[in-house]
Amino acid sequence: MKTDDLVALLSTNLEPVDRNAVVRTLCVAIAAVAIAAIGIAFAGLGFRPDLTTTRALIFLAVKVAFAIGVTGLSLAYLTRLARPSGERKILPLLVAAPFLVIVVLAAISLGSAPRAHWERMIMGDEWLECLLSIPIIAIVPFAVSIWAVRKGAPTNLSRAGAFAGLIAGGVSAMAYALHCTDDSLPFIAVWYGGTIVLCTLAGAALGPRLLRW
Amino acid sequence: MTTLEIELKALMLASLDGDAASHHSLLDQLSRRLRAYYKAKLAAIGRGTSEAEDLVQEAVLAIHLKRHTYDRGEPLTPWVHAIARYKLIDFLRRNRASLADVPIDAADEVMADDDHTGAESTYDIRRLMGRLPKGMQCAIEAVKLDGLSVAEAAKRCGLSESGVKVNIHRGLKTLAALIARETRT
C-alpha cells in the first residue's frame, strides 16, 4: 500500500477529537475504582466497629490522608505518563513525599515512646492481614488503571506500570484503612507504605507486558 | 522553536478540531520526515531500508489513532518523536533485533530531513481489511475509502451512526495490529 493512500484514507471524513480524553478517562477510572475498593473492603472485611470514636477517627484521617496523598500525586503523574514523551516532564521522586512524611512522623512517634513498646507499635495486631489485604484489594484498581492508561499511549511502559501500581496501592490502602484497627504511626509507615511500594514494584514489572500498544 | 514546528503544530491543532485538509497535510508532511528518520535509523544499525515504509505507515497510523493524547499546550516535535521511537523499538523487538544498537537520539532528529519518494509498504490493505469483522470492514470502506457520510454509511452497513464511528475506530486499531503482525519478518 502507498503511504499517500493511507494518509488519504485516514483524512477522509475526519472526526474532531475530545481535548480532555486522557485526563477524563483516568479521573473517572480512579473515582470508580475508589468506590469499588471501599465496597470490596466492606464486603470482605467489614468496617472497624469503633469507627465513630475520636481516636479511631484521628488515625483513620492520618491513614486516609497518606493514601490520598499517594493516589493524588500518582494520578497527576499518570495523566502525563499516559502520553507520548509525557515522562520527560515529571520528577518521579516527588511522589516519595507522602512516604517521607509518614516515615518522619513514625520516627518521631518511636522516639518519644519507650523502647519496650516499639515492637508492639510496629507490628500491631494485624500486620499479616494488612500485608495481604492491601495487595489483594489493589488487584481490581490495578486492572482498571492499566485499562485507562492503555486508552492513552504511554511510551515509558515500566514507569507507567509502576505508577498504575502505585495508584492501585494508594486506593486500596485508603479502603483498607476503614477496616484496620492498628492505630500507630510506625505501623502505617511500615505496613501501609511497604505494601504500596510492593504494588508499585509489581506494576513496574508488569507494565511492559500489559501496556504495549 | 523552528518554523516547521510552528507550522506543523498549527496543522495539528486544526486537525484535532476535525479539519480534514489540515490532517491530510500534517500526515503527509510527517510521513516524509518519518521516512527519512527511519531510513537513517535502520541504516545506522545495519538493517536494510526496505522495511522503513512499513514503519512509516505504522507510525502514521499510531499518530492518527493516538492523536487525542497530544497535549495542546506542548510542542509537537517531542510527541511525534516519542511515537516514532516507540514504534521503532517495538518493531525491532518484534524482529528480535538487538536493542542495544539503537542509539539515543534527540527529539528534533525526527523532523530533520524530508524524504518524498512515493514508496509502498509490503502489505496490502485491502487484503488485511478482509480479515476484519463485517461491520468494521463495511464502515471503513464506506466512510474512509468511498467517502460516504456517516449517515449514508450507517444506512449501507445497517448500523447506527455512532455504531459506524465506533466500528471505524476499532477497525483502524485492529488494522494497525494486523499490520504490526504482518511486518514481523
The reported pLDDT for the residue numbered B185 is 52
For B63-98, write each residue's pLDDT tens digit. 999 999 999 989 999 999 999 999 998 888 887 766
| Confidence band, pLDDT 50/70/90 cuts, at residue B34 | very high
Quick: pLDDT tens for A83-103: 998 877 677 788 899 999 999
Note if the pTM is more than 0.90: no
Please give the Cα distance from A156 to B57 (Å, whole number). Answer: 22
**Tell me, what's the pLDDT at B101?**
66
DSSP-H helix ranges across A118-156:
118-123, 127-137, 139-150
| Chain A: residue whose CA lies nearest to B127 | A1
Rounded distance between C-alpha atoms, residue B87 and residue B153, angstroms? 32
Sign of CA dihedral A107, A111, A116, A121: negative
Residue A49: partners with Cβ closer than 8 Å, 6 or more residues away: none
pLDDT band for position A9 (50/70/90)?
confident
Segment A27-56 mean pLDDT: 90
Encode pLDDT of A10-30 as tens digits. 888 888 888 889 999 999 999
Q: What percent of chain B has pLDDT over 70?
A: 94
- Interface check A2 vs B, CB under 8 A: yes
Q: What part of A 74-113 touches B (C-beta under 8 Å)? A: 82-86, 88
Residue B1 in contact with partner chain A when CB distance is under 8 A:
no
Asked if the model's pLDDT at residue B144 lies above 60, the reply is yes
Arithmetic mean of pLDDT, B7-27: 94
Average pLDDT over chain A, rounded to whole? 91
How far apart CA B135 and CA A197 sit, in angstroms, is 45
Sort out which chain A residues have CB atoms less than 8 A from B150's CB and list them.
13
The region of weakest confidence among A55-64, A127-136, B139-148, B166-175 is: B139-148
Minimal-distance CA residue of chain B relative to A9 = B144
Q: Mean pLDDT, chain B, as a whole number?
A: 86
Among candidate residues A42, A30, A46, A45, the one with its CA nearest the CA of residue A140: A30
